[in-house]
Amino acid sequence: MLEKTYSPDEVEARQYSRWEAADAFSAKFDESKEPFTIMIPPPNVTGSLHMGHALNNTIQDILCRYQRMQGRDVLWQPGTDHAGIATQMVVERQLAAEGIELDRGMPLAPGNTRQIGREEFIERVWKWRAQSGGTILKQLRRLGASCDWQRERFTMDEGLSQAVLKVFVQLYREKLIYRDKRLVNWDPRFHTAISDLEVEQKETDGHLWHFKYPIEGEEGRFITVATTRPETMLGDTAVAVHPDDERYKDLVGKFAVLPLVGRRIPIVADDYADPEQGSGAVKITPAHDFNDFEVGKRHGLEMINVFDRDAHMNDAVPQDYRGLDRFAARKQVVADIEALGLLEKIDPHRHTVPHGDRSGVPIEPYLTDQWYVDAATLARPAIAAVESGKTVFVPKQWEKTYYEWMRNIQPWCISRQLWWGHQVPAWYGPDGAVFVAHDESEAAEQAKTHYGKAVELTRDPDVLDTWFSSALWPFSTLGWPEETPALKRYYPGDVLVTGFDIIFFWVARMMMDGLHFMDGEVPFHTVYIHALVRDEKGQKMSKSKGNVLDPLDLIDKFGADAVRFTLTALAAQGRDIKLSESRIEGYRNFCTKIWNAARFCEMNECRYEPGYDPAANQQRVNRWIVSQLAQTEPKVRKAIEDYRFNEAAQALYQFIWNTYCDWYLEFAKPLFQGDDAAAKAETRATALWVLHKALFLLHPIMPFLTEELWQQSGPGEGGVGENLMTLSDWPAFDAGLIDAEADASLGWVVRLISQIRAVRSEMNVPPGAKIALIVNDASAASKARFADHEALIRTLARVETLVFDQPVPKGSVQDVLDECALVLPLAEVIDLAQERQRLQKEMDKLNGEIVKLDKKLSNEQFLAKAPDDVVAEQRERLADSRQTLSKLQSALDRLASA
């Protein structure tokens, strides 16, 4: 006997182990089946499960489970990303707690005990990973994710590292990777370059300082420039004005004397200077501003780098400022300028300041040598693949975002000054010549050819951007560059499921690399972009805001199926999800409801019957519920195939709760308790069969509950398909099971009962008090049509406490439904005035409807232009409304005469 409520925690652990024991998740390399591939977006190895992951993986799991049930050979490739900066941070922090710091050629910080080198550090990272990395993959199991865990990969794995090497070397040889000295986004906290995408613009309240630079040789004349970063003035090498700016025409070609430094800097004419902005003159710091860099190149200006890698002032600035942190230097510069009487004014100024997305500190444009990918070239085929529909985005609007970025793509800075990651496979000779190779010996050979003798080589210390390896995930995980069976079978992937926040970081780059290295074959045919999960107020969940809902807590509290169903039900396309606990609670109740429906079947001795044939059903209610089920399946199937997961959830919820539980099981009660043995047996078999089919339809969304109930009420231990999941059988229903007659008849009964209930409830008919019912529109046809409902309705009398076929007592009220008249409660148990009011209200509503329809149907344009079926439908509705109105009217008349 099933317990009274469902206990997810016990069931989930047990069922998950059973599935694993049955090897239900692995890719089967089964040539008789069509493959279906999903590559998991590899979570950071340092990560832990948040709601975004929960949504992302619930959707993937739904697709995988559904496709397995459709007979596909599914590979859901799991794994983690080595997450360069994030991981290095975690381990560095851990080391710091032990008083250990990285040896970066700086003196030991006070309080620390020792420094460690690169090798030892990397060892520590691996050790950390072995102990606590990849927690998130264990957490995914709690969610029910059916990944092929035997194939788990890590972006720093040997195999994946080989792929990275090969890609780097090949792109270098194709001149699609190159080394360049230009301004990069420099993160002074992590001492590394980062890509444009890792820069976050933040609105900040700052100031605009106006400095007066004296003009050389013109005593008392100044040119005013404004800046938000006064410390950079120490690196100024020009002042620019617009060529057409009359105010400064005579100054072009002359020099200003840079205060505090004393450097002569030219005043140049350049379109970049905007006469409308500030004074119209702009200071030029080519080494620390992207625009100024371009100006500097145009005018051959000196590029003076004034920062070290910590963004402290370096030796290029006057003695007084050396070693100062950039913000301290800012204060000092302003104070000194003011002391010189050269500070014109300070305006408050709100502007956006670039910050490192990981470090949170303002980044500095910084002149360094870095490695770049020629993204523009790689982007071309990636754009074309989407244009031609080889890869489609769902929802389609994201294609525009993709195009927008891809068509304006900038060189991708891929080198990072970190230790954790794939080290750049480049070696330098004594004179700085570069040798890019798969390993040191290959590089040495190249060097030998180059120099004519063996030389000592130094490896580039930088590592690659984490996304460089993530970009290869769709094929590196399958064994590339080896020609593995997995690669052959499971590339390209079918669908990539991800959030829009990594379209640029990841999707775009997988497209570029996939097309380039896999013979022009896209990495996936569909990109399904899902919503972001926000809190119930619509705010992004973040630890600092304290509004984070932890999926594991929710799973503990409500069960994985409830969490999954909630996310699915909310996963409408094109909108963010605002998640609240009350919503999950509602779907937890749905789980309980299903559980109790199964319990009810069990109590009524419904048993699994392999030979049951729904087409042979005699009882109309049984034919009806089968018909309803058969109409639900295509809705669910189509919804999943169209990535409209909320619609699938809704169709299932409606069928199971509103149709099966609310109506069918109620109809079944009198049959279960009646004397008709054949009807009873048929109903028992049908009730369970329909429940089972519903469990299958629901399984992709709610795997645990459905599996458990199947095992408790299905064929049982050792039976054929004792596991729902391994049976993997998506229900298919013969079109013949859709029974229009049963649908119409039971639809009528449902409406009839609803009317009776409405009257009883609104009229406050006490429980037990009888109300009378007659079928007064007793045409032979309608009698025949509904003849065999009589027995059914008679049995319902118990529940509804209505008396069938009583004469209408004088003074009773008559309500109407279709061909039937429903006779309302006895006068003594209801308030007649109230009933008159109720009827009047109904009639008012109908009248409004009739006026509208009448107007429409007397419009000749409408009759001429609207499709016939629409016209016919409107006519029918008008007739119906009129009929109902007249019945209500006669009911009201009777009431008046009471």
Partner RNA sequence: GGGCGAUUAGCUCAGCGGGAGAGCGCUCGCUUCACACGCGAGAGGUCGCUGGUUCAAUCCCAGCAUCGCCCACCA
DSSP 321: G
Residue 624 CA to its chain's centroid (Å): 38
The token pair that represents 596 in the structure block: 């109790």
Q: Which helix (H) or strand (E) holds 412?
A: strand 412-413
Q: Is 404 in the site for RNA (CB under 7 A)?
A: yes
Q: Does 362 sit behind a cis peptide bond, omega within 30 degrees of 0 on the bond before it?
A: no
Backbone angles phi, psi at 690, to 5 degrees: -65, -40
- Residues in region 757-786 near RNA by CB under 7 A: 757-758, 760-762, 764, 767
Q: Is 657 in the site for RNA (CB under 7 A)?
A: yes
CB atoms within 10 A of CB 669: 16
**Please, what is the minimum distance in Å from the beta carbon of residue 455 to RNA?**
41
CB atoms within 10 A of CB 877: 16
Q: Is 312 in the site for RNA (CB under 7 A)?
A: no
Rounded to an integer, what distance in angstroms lies between the CA atom of residue 805 and that of residue 790?
A: 10
**Please, what is the minimum distance in Å from the beta carbon of residue 807 to RNA?**
26
Q: Which stretch binds RNA (CB under 7 A): 151-159, 221-229, 379-387, 548-556?
A: 221-229
Q: Between 123 and 662, name the residue whose CB sits nearer to RNA.
A: 662
Instruction: For the chain, give the number of residues.
Output: 898
Q: Is 642 in the site for RNA (CB under 7 A)?
A: no
Q: Which stretch binds RNA (CB under 7 A): 117-125, 186-194, 287-295, 411-419?
A: 287-295
The token pair that represents 296 in the structure block: 């500097």
What number of chain residues touch RNA (CB under 7 A)? 90
Rounded to an integer, what distance in angstroms lies between the CA atom of residue 77 and that of residue 273?
A: 53
- Residues in region 196-215 near RNA by CB under 7 A: 196-197, 201, 208
Q: Is 556 in the site for RNA (CB under 7 A)?
A: no
Q: Between 657 and 748, name the residue whose CB sits nearer to RNA.
A: 657
Q: Which helix (H) or strand (E) holds 682?
A: helix 677-698
DSSP 503: I
Among 454, 859, 875, 893, interactor with RNA by CB under 7 A: 859
Closest CA to 691 of 626, 738, 611, 747: 626
Q: Between 164 and 577, name the residue whose CB sits nearer to RNA.
A: 577
| Secondary structure of 712-741 in HEC code, one letter for each residue | HHCCCCCCCCCCHHHHCCCCCCCHHHCCHH
Q: Does 481 sit behind a cis peptide bond, omega within 30 degrees of 0 on the bond before it?
A: yes
Q: Is 847 in the site for RNA (CB under 7 A)?
A: no
Q: Between 483 and 860, name the residue whose CB sits nearer to RNA.
A: 860
Among 597, 629, 691, 709, interactor with RNA by CB under 7 A: 597
Among 152, 325, 576, 777, interactor with RNA by CB under 7 A: 576
**Please, what is the minimum distance in Å from the beta carbon of residue 844 to RNA?**
11
Q: Between 199 and 316, name the residue whose CB sits nearer to RNA.
A: 199
Q: Between 512 and 651, name the residue whose CB sits nearer to RNA.
A: 651
DSSP string over 558-573: H-HHHHHHHHHHH--T
Q: Is 349 in the site for RNA (CB under 7 A)?
A: yes
- Residues in region 789-808 near RNA by CB under 7 A: 798
Q: Is 280 in the site for RNA (CB under 7 A)?
A: yes
Q: Is 547 in the site for RNA (CB under 7 A)?
A: no
Q: Is 43 in the site for RNA (CB under 7 A)?
A: no
Give Cα separations from 856 to 372, 848, 881 (angstroms). 67, 13, 14
The token pair that represents 882 in the structure block: 């009129």
Q: Is 862 in the site for RNA (CB under 7 A)?
A: yes
Q: Is 574 in the site for RNA (CB under 7 A)?
A: yes
3-state secondary structure of 171: helix
Q: Is 437 in the site for RNA (CB under 7 A)?
A: no
3-state secondary structure of 859: coil
**Please, what is the minimum distance in Å from the beta carbon of residue 151 to RNA?**
32
- Residues in region 407-426 near RNA by CB under 7 A: 408
Closest CA to 298 of 318, 327, 335, 269: 269
- Residues in region 444-483 near RNA by CB under 7 A: none
Among 289, 462, 535, 708, interactor with RNA by CB under 7 A: 289
Q: Which helix (H) or strand (E) holds 67?
A: helix 51-69
Q: Does 715 sit behind a cis peptide bond, omega within 30 degrees of 0 on the bond before it?
A: no
**Please, what is the minimum distance in Å from the beta carbon of residue 159 to RNA?**
32
Q: Is 112 in the site for RNA (CB under 7 A)?
A: no
The token pair that represents 237 in the structure block: 């090498």
β partners of residue 76:
38
Among 457, 570, 626, 749, interactor with RNA by CB under 7 A: 570
**Please, what is the minimum distance in Å from the beta carbon of residue 524 to RNA?**
21
Q: Between 586 and 731, name the residue whose CB sits nearer to RNA.
A: 586
Q: Is 45 in the site for RNA (CB under 7 A)?
A: no
Q: Is 344 in the site for RNA (CB under 7 A)?
A: no
- Residues in region 351-380 near RNA by CB under 7 A: 351-353
Q: Which stretch binds RNA (CB under 7 A): 57-65, 143-151, 301-309, 860-868?
A: 860-868
Residue with tokens 């300041």, as numbered in its chain: 353
Among 478, 591, 695, 709, interactor with RNA by CB under 7 A: 591
Q: Between 761 and 897, name the residue whose CB sits nearer to RNA.
A: 761
Q: Is 216 in the site for RNA (CB under 7 A)?
A: no
Closest CA to 54 of 155, 141, 151, 152: 141
CB atoms within 10 A of CB 819: 17
- Residues in region 117-176 near RNA by CB under 7 A: none
Backbone angles phi, psi at 524, to 5 degrees: -165, 150
